[in-house]
Amino acid sequence: MTAPGHARADSLARLRRDIVACGACRRLRRHCEAVAARGKPEFRGWTYWGRPVPGFGDPEAALLVVGLAPAAHGGNRTGRMFTGDGSAAWLVRAMYRAGFANQPTSERRDDGLRLLGAYMTAPVRCAPPGNKPTRAEFARCRPFLRREIALLPRVRVYLALGRVAFDVCRELLGARGADVRGLRFAHGAAYELGPAWPALIASYHPSRQNTNTGKLTEAMLDSVFATARRLVDRTHPGEDRPAAARRGTGVAVARVAAGLGGQAHA
Ligand code: SF4
């Protein structure tokens, strides 16, 4: 069993290996394995990943998208963050329209998706029962997120999906010395904390619960990513973006930005 501690000479590849091998939370590991063994009729024939899910994206990312945890039949099935479920479909469509992804779909690890100047992660790497990790599980997994953030030095914007992710981001920024007093979760709120710190944007999570009820619409999610785009472009003008998105057409072309290095993913 590998503990989620800090490794010497850290790298995203090492972090990924450590996450995938982690067995620190017995309850979550048992749950993920049970879901993987049981599967779901609509995914008959799939070999579920069933292990902790590492972050995914561009190592040169300026935008960090933070969710809650992999979904039982999404990331826990496919082995990639925000892949293979309804939340992923909404999220990646919006990211594509804002020029943060080379394609509008995220269905499996080998589907060709590349994030452009963006990285997706979560504070808990194992799908929790009822989407509710315990405080102890959050705490146990937190070192992985800290290491990931340290390995993504170009990140200038955090986009938190949901109140829990927002609280995690606020706490991480506060622990590093940012003044986070008065930061409150509200969909679309964007907080600029000064030149030394990433900005923090809040969004409703694109969960089925929110999208099916109309609490979150595609236009609302697009608006959040437009804010992210504006803040990213302020610090990294014109980088890592398909030409169509730079022109503001809202239609990203399937071009992989050159020279970004490999995508870090499962
Ligand atoms: S939630 Fe995090 S700390 Fe817990 S077992 Fe999964 S990877 Fe390890």
DSSP code of 201? Answer: E
Give me the number of domains the chain comprises.
1
Q: Is the CB of 125 under 6 A from ligand 1?
A: yes
Burial track 102-122 (b if 16+ CB lie within 10 A, e otherwise): bbbebbeeeeebbbbbbbbbb
In this predicted structure, what is the pLDDT of residue 261?
32
Confirm whether 18 is domain-assigned. yes
Q: Is the CB of 28 under 6 A from ligand 1?
A: yes
Ligand 1 test: best mutation among 125, 148, 164, most atoms within 8 Å of CB? 125
Confirm whether 5 is domain-assigned. no
* Mean pLDDT, residues 195-216 taken together: 97
Whichever domain contains 175, its CATH number is 3.40.470.10
Helical packing angle, 12-21 and 135-150, nearest 10°: 160
Measured between alpha carbons, how far is 184 from 190 in angstroms, rounded to an integer? Answer: 10
Spell out the residues 6+ positions from residue 85 whose beta carbon is closer than 8 angstroms to its own: 71, 73, 74, 75
Spell out the residues 6+ positions from residue 42 whose beta carbon is closer than 8 angstroms to its own: none
* Mean pLDDT, residues 220-231 taken together: 98
Which tokens is 200 given? 């923090």
Query: Residue 43 C-alpha to ligand 1 middle, in angstroms?
Result: 25
Condensed to tens digits (0 to 9), the pLDDT of residues 52-105 reads: 999 999 999 999 999 999 999 999 999 999 999 999 999 999 999 999 999 999
Confirm whether 266 is domain-assigned. no
Query: Residue 96 C-alpha to ligand 1 middle, in angstroms?
Result: 29
In this predicted structure, what is the pLDDT of residue 9?
74
In this predicted structure, what is the pLDDT of residue 249?
32
Compute CA distances 92 → 116, 168, 182, 218, whole Å. 11, 22, 30, 11
Confirm whether 251 is domain-assigned. no
Query: Residue 202 C-alpha to ligand 1 middle, in angstroms?
Result: 25
Ligand 1 test: best mutation among 27, 31, 124, most atoms within 8 Å of CB? 124
Which tokens is 130 given? 């009822």
Condensed to tens digits (0 to 9), the pLDDT of residues 147-197 reads: 999 999 999 999 999 999 999 999 999 999 999 999 999 999 999 999 999
In this predicted structure, what is the pLDDT of residue 230?
97
Measured between alpha carbons, how far is 263 from 108 in angstroms, rounded to an integer? Answer: 14
Measured between alpha carbons, how far is 19 from 4 in angstroms, rounded to an integer? Answer: 7
Q: Is the CB of 120 under 6 A from ligand 1?
A: no
Confirm whether 192 is domain-assigned. yes
In this predicted structure, what is the pLDDT of residue 4?
57
pTM: 0.88
Query: Residue 107 C-alpha to ligand 1 middle, in angstroms?
Result: 23
Strand partners, 202: 160
DSSP code of 229? Answer: H
Confirm whether 135 is domain-assigned. yes
Query: Is the separation of the CB atoms in 64 and 72 below 8 Å?
Result: no
Measured between alpha carbons, how far is 243 from 257 in angstroms, rounded to an integer? Answer: 10
Query: Residue 137 C-alpha to ligand 1 middle, in angstroms?
Result: 7
In this predicted structure, what is the pLDDT of residue 6?
54
Confirm whether 119 is domain-assigned. yes
Query: Is the separation of the CB atoms in 101 and 252 below 8 Å?
Result: yes
Mean pLDDT of the chain: 89
> Which percentage of the chain shows pLDDT scores above 90?
83
Query: Is the separation of the CB atoms in 111 and 86 below 8 Å?
Result: no
Confirm whether 260 is domain-assigned. no
In this predicted structure, what is the pLDDT of residue 5?
53
pLDDT over threshold 90, residue 255:
no
Measured between alpha carbons, how far is 163 from 88 in angstroms, rounded to an integer? Answer: 18
Which is the closest atom of ligand 1 to the Cα of 23?
A: 5
pLDDT over threshold 80, residue 7:
no
Give residue 170's identity as a one-letter amino acid code: R
Query: Residue 89 C-alpha to ligand 1 middle, in angstroms?
Result: 25
